[in-house]
Amino acid sequence: MKLMYALWGEDLETTLHGSALHRGLADAGARALQVNVSDADVAAAQTRISTGPEPVTAIISVWCADHAVITKLLSATADRLAGWIVDERVPLPPPVTGNGQRCDALANIALLRIPDGMSRHTWLRTWHDNHTAVAIETQATFGYVQNTVVEPVTDGPAVAGLVEELFPMAAMTDPHAFWGSGGDDDELRGRVTRMLRSVATFGADRDLDVVPTSRYTYDLG
């Protein structure tokens, strides 16, 4: 089972990499951990979107058999926590990195919501079947992971999906590096236009959070 949590708070950049937390997660049955945190390495990122007064500080992914102890443990590390059981799809696998090593990427995570008047079935079909290829073809992504929310494990904001997209670090400030347009302004405009039309078809052009992060993975044994 894969769990994902949004965390808000101070000093998470240190706490989430700490051995004490990792031992606690392992003792609770967690097999693997992914830490996505807004830290100094991505401070220059120009795209940050928040639906609340405080932006999300980190997104944590945990693979385990039961969520109760994991949720309690993570709650103690943050000022605020929201968590979900998710179903993971990996259309474009991220590169493998060493245990605890930072992936050389800008890892953007978007929290998606189903717009009013659209059924969950239509939303999922549009996101998975129609939009995925557009997102990969129009951007300079080299990792693309879709996580559909199965059910929440905490109180908190309604979220239907979380998507992680990996970009070159230059994409933080260079639109051509973000969109993969090779310095061609016409190509850039075409890619942006195609992408914006696609996200509008399932409501991902509004009511979403975008969190620029650094990505780390840990094998908890």
How confident is the model at residue 221, as a pLDDT? Answer: 83
How confident is the model at residue 31, as a pLDDT? Answer: 97
- For 11-62, the pLDDT digits (tens) are 999 999 999 999 999 999 999 999 999 999 999 999 999 999 999 999 999 9
Question: DSSP states of 155-198 as a string?
Answer: SS---SEEEEEEE-GGGGT-HHHHHT-TT-HHHHHHHHHHHHHH
Angle, CA of 82, 60 and 164, to the nearest 5°:
100
Domain limits of the chain?
2-219
For range 161-172, the mean pLDDT? 98
The CATH number for 2-219, chosen from 3.90.226.10, 3.50.50.60, 1.10.10.10, 3.30.70.100, is 3.30.70.100
Is the CB of residue 189 less than 8 Å from the CB of residue 30?
no
Choose among 59, 64, 125, 119: nearest CA to 89: 125
How confident is the model at residue 160, as a pLDDT? Answer: 98
pTM over 0.85: yes
Does pLDDT of 162 surpass 90?
yes
How confident is the model at residue 157, as a pLDDT? Answer: 86
For range 123-131, the mean pLDDT? 98
- For 178-196, the pLDDT digits (tens) are 999 999 999 999 999 999 9
Does pLDDT of 156 surpass 90?
no
How confident is the model at residue 155, as a pLDDT? Answer: 93
How confident is the model at residue 218, as a pLDDT? Answer: 98
How confident is the model at residue 158, as a pLDDT? Answer: 93
Q: What's the rounded Cα separation, in Å, for the pair 106 and 122?
A: 30
